[in-house]
């Protein structure tokens, strides 16, 4: 996906990930009193379903419900910036 220079939304097709690809995922750290989220780069180990993945990060496997391509905006970025709507306005 890429940024639209007009409306600043995202446009284009998402790149599909497959097993063995480098991917970004959200690592949740819970130290008892607070929960911290951080985006890490790992290797997509197994795709179980559309929202169920296993990712290898620093020799540890993590079960996550969303992964994104390193060159692609994260689902959070897309949610914040929104999607390009220019094409819908043009005939
Ligand atoms: Zn646009």
pLDDT of res. 13: 85
pLDDT, tens digit, 9 for 90 and up, residues 43-85? 999 999 989 999 999 999 999 998 989 888 877 788 888 999 8
Q: Say how many Å lie between the CA of residue 62 and the centre of ligand 1.
A: 36
| Ordered DSSP codes for the chain | -EE-TTT--EESPPPPP-TT-EEEEEEEEE-SS-EEEEEEEEEEEEEEETTEEEEEETTEEEEES-EE-TTSPPHHHHHHH-B--HHHH--
Phi, psi of 86 (to 5 degrees): -65, -40
pTM of this prediction? Answer: 0.70
Greater confidence (75 vs 7) lies with 7
- Span from the CA of 29 to the centroid of ligand 1 (angstroms): 36
Q: Is the pLDDT of residue 90 over 90?
A: no
């Amino acid at each position: 996906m890429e940024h639209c220079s007009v409306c600043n939304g995202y446009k284009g097709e998402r790149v599909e990930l497959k097993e063995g690809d480098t991917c970004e995922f959200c690592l949740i750290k819970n130290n008892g009193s607070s929960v911290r989220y951080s985006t890490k780069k790992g290797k997509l180990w197994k795709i179980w379903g559309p929202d169920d993945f296993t990712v290898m990060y620093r020799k540890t496997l993590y079960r996550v419900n969303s992964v994104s391509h390193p060159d692609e905006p994260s689902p959070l970025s897309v949610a914040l910036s929104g999607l390009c709507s220019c094409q819908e306005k043009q005939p």
